[in-house]
């Protein structure tokens, strides 16, 4: 998690729009949690066909939410820039 914090601090210095660092936190924390849950031995399998625990499913949802919000906010910024140029 210290590595994640370092990456987030680096990303925060050059953030292109509000929320950029927050949504990157969702992605990075989800990746770390997914990996830790994979290594952990005492997990309960929630989705048997994929061998995923509930925590891994939540991690995947957080990663997808983060990616989706970064995409939406970058599109919003692009549209706002185009409108202000006109």
pLDDT digit string (tens) for 34-64? 999 888 866 777 777 888 888 899 999 999 9
Residue 73 forms part of a structural domain: yes
The first and second tokens of residue 23, run together, are 């949504």
Residue 7 forms part of a structural domain: no
pLDDT tens-digit map of 58-78: 999 999 999 999 999 999 888
Residue 12 forms part of a structural domain: no
Contacts 24+ apart (CB under 8 A), 71-75: 73/17, 73/18, 73/19, 73/20, 73/23, 74/16, 74/17
Distance CA 48, CA 46 (A): 6
pLDDT for 63: 97
Residue 4 forms part of a structural domain: no
Residue 71 forms part of a structural domain: yes
**Domains contained in the chain, number:** 1
């Amino acid at each position: 998690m210290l590595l994640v914090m370092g990456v987030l601090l680096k990303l925060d210095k050059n953030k292109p729009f509000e929320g950029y660092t927050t949504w990157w936190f969702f992605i990075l924390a989800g990746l770390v949690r997914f990996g830790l849950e994979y290594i952990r031995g005492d997990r309960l399998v929630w989705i048997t066909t994929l061998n995923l625990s509930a925590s891994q499913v939540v991690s995947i949802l957080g990663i997808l939410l983060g990616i989706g919000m970064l995409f939406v906010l970058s599109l919003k910024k692009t549209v706002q820039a185009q409108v202000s140029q006109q």
